[in-house]
Amino acid sequence: MADRYLSFTGTAPGRFLTRRLGLPQPAPLRRWSPEHPTLGGDLLHLTAGKSDLDLAATGLALVRSSERPAAVLLDASGVRDVEGLADVHAALHPVVRSVAAGGRVVVLGAPLDPADHHQSAAQQALEGFTRSLGKEIGRGRTVNLVRPADALAAESTLRFLFSPKSAYVSGQVIEVGARQVTAPDDWDRPLTGRTALVTGAARGIGEAVAGTLARDGARVVVLDVPQAQAAARQVAERLGGTALALDITAPDAGERIAAALPDGLDVLVHNAGITRDRRLVNMPAERWSSVLEVNLASVLRTTDALLASGTIRAGGRIVATASIAGLAGNAGQTNYGASKAGVAGLVRSLAPRALAEHGVTVNAVAPGFIETKMTAAVPLFIREAGRRMNSLAQGGLPVDVAETIAWLAHPASGAVNGQVVRVCGQSLLGA
């Protein structure tokens, strides 16, 4: 469904009226397209404190001065005390207003040092700073904090955040480890030669994920329930992939996936999910159990089975779909919120072991209000509240979730592990 309010605020009368009434003024977001694959402007490099990061190794085209930058990279990894935070203000204060509409601000921090509470305090302060700046910067611009242990390992993350692909990701804190990564031969098609399986891929967000992974070179397996077999086949044929009709809640789903993929799997995306909303006082046991079974139990079972069988190859990626409802809670969704919070718990617990034992990373995305057929059916005032209650004052698109998953699935994202990244335009709900 079209966002008529967004269209109205793009007109002269709309801008005048919303400004006079103090209403949100969302800016159209600059998303990736083959015609516009970059932000199309300077990437301004600033520093605060003394940094040891070798940003030249990332291959980013950094400049030291620009009157109208498309993006700003502030390296604050060397800030170790409260006094050093003054450099953060001094660096960004003069340039924030000049960042182009739809631009990006990325702050580089450092891992917290448990032996130095002054450094930890200063680096934690960067989190509050970036989240707050994200809520005030406006004009479709985003602000994120990255804590890299190694600059080269963060290249895929920085490329993502400094591209139109990250249009709906803001206010996030992303940890990047020191694991050695290998750059792909072709950054435009990094998944060439890899196989990706997406559950619930016959429609909606899952279809967008499958399409984006195929765009990046993957051979995609479109998995959905037998009732959606015809739609799954259409998607698979369009993408040059294959369809797999399977109820993901079947006890042997993992074994059946492994049998269907004898050559192995590189990317597993857990997207399938359902809602059965009702307040707890009115919720029968069946509504509770069905949501937990699809959204969480099946994810646990199939992940365990595919790791144990070795179907997910070394260097593989597991990306699960959580939700801001699981992070912040939502009335009428105790079952859904529990299931999606469980996904986050799965990621944080399994990630270090899966990497150590199988060479596989485990991450999650947590979508906010995404424009789908499901949200189009939400009553008008609730739908409008969902759209406006974020720093970008608009709903996201399925492709926003898909692009974030594609970044986590990237072969050069091997140092990104155990992360739950919100794709919510920096929702005002929760952390």
Q: For residue 402, which of 8, 10, 31 has the smallest C-alpha distance?
A: 31
- pLDDT of residue 431 exceeding 80, the answer is no
User: Quick one: pLDDT at residue 382?
Assistant: 81
**Active-site annotation holds for 336:** yes
Are the C-beta atoms of 106 and 100 separated by less than 8 Å? Answer: no
What is the mean predicted confidence (pLDDT) over 29-42? 96
What is the mean predicted confidence (pLDDT) over 397-407? 98
What residues contact residue 394 under an 8 Å CB cut-off, 6+ apart? 3, 6, 26, 29, 387, 388, 425
Residue % of the chain over a pLDDT of 70: 99
What is the mean predicted confidence (pLDDT) over 319-337? 95
What is the mean predicted confidence (pLDDT) over 53-74? 94
Q: Which residue has the higher pLDDT, 195 or 14?
A: 195
Domains of the chain, start order:
31-176 (3.40.50.720), 195-423 (3.40.50.720)
Q: What is the mean pLDDT of the chain?
A: 95
What is the mean predicted confidence (pLDDT) over 157-182? 95
356: helix, coil or strand?
helix
Side chain identity at residue 80, one-letter code: R
User: Quick one: pLDDT at residue 305?
Assistant: 98
- pLDDT tens for each residue of 228-258: 999 999 999 999 999 999 999 999 999 999 9
What DSSP letter does each residue of 369-417 carry, written as one string?
A: SB-SHHHHTS-HHHHHHHHHSBTT-S-B-HHHHHHHHHHHHSTT-TT--
Q: For residue 360, which of 350, 349, 374, 369 has the smallest C-alpha distance?
A: 350
Q: Where are the alpha helices (DSSP H) in 278-397?
A: 285-292, 298-308, 324-328, 334-358, 373-376, 380-388
Are the C-beta atoms of 184 and 411 separated by less than 8 Å? Answer: yes
Joined tokens for residue 92: 């960004």
pLDDT grade, residue 300 (50/70/90)?
Answer: very high
User: Quick one: pLDDT at residue 78?
Assistant: 96
Return phi, psi of residue 344, to 5°: -65, -40
Query: Cα separation of 199 and 317, whole Å?
Result: 14
Q: Which residue has the higher pLDDT, 302 or 182?
A: 302
Structure pTM?
Answer: 0.97
Catalytic residue among 32, 162, 288, 336: 336
What is the mean predicted confidence (pLDDT) over 146-162? 95
Tokens 């005048």 belong to which residue? 16
- pLDDT tens for each residue of 197-231: 999 999 999 999 999 999 999 999 999 999 999 99
CA 236 to chain centre: 24
For the CA atoms of 57, 421, 214, 227, the dihedral, rounded to the nearest 10 degrees, stands at 170
Are the C-beta atoms of 18 and 25 separated by less than 8 Å? Answer: yes
User: Quick one: pLDDT at residue 377?
Assistant: 74
What is the mean predicted confidence (pLDDT) over 161-187? 95
What is the mean predicted confidence (pLDDT) over 21-42? 94
What residues contact residue 237 under an 8 Å CB cut-off, 6+ apart? none
- What Rg, from alpha-carbon coordinates, does the chain have? 21
SS3 letters across 234-264: HHHHHHCCEEEECCCCCCCHHHHHHHHCCCC
- pLDDT of residue 4 exceeding 60, the answer is yes
Query: Cα separation of 320 and 405, whole Å?
Result: 9
What is the mean predicted confidence (pLDDT) over 37-44? 97
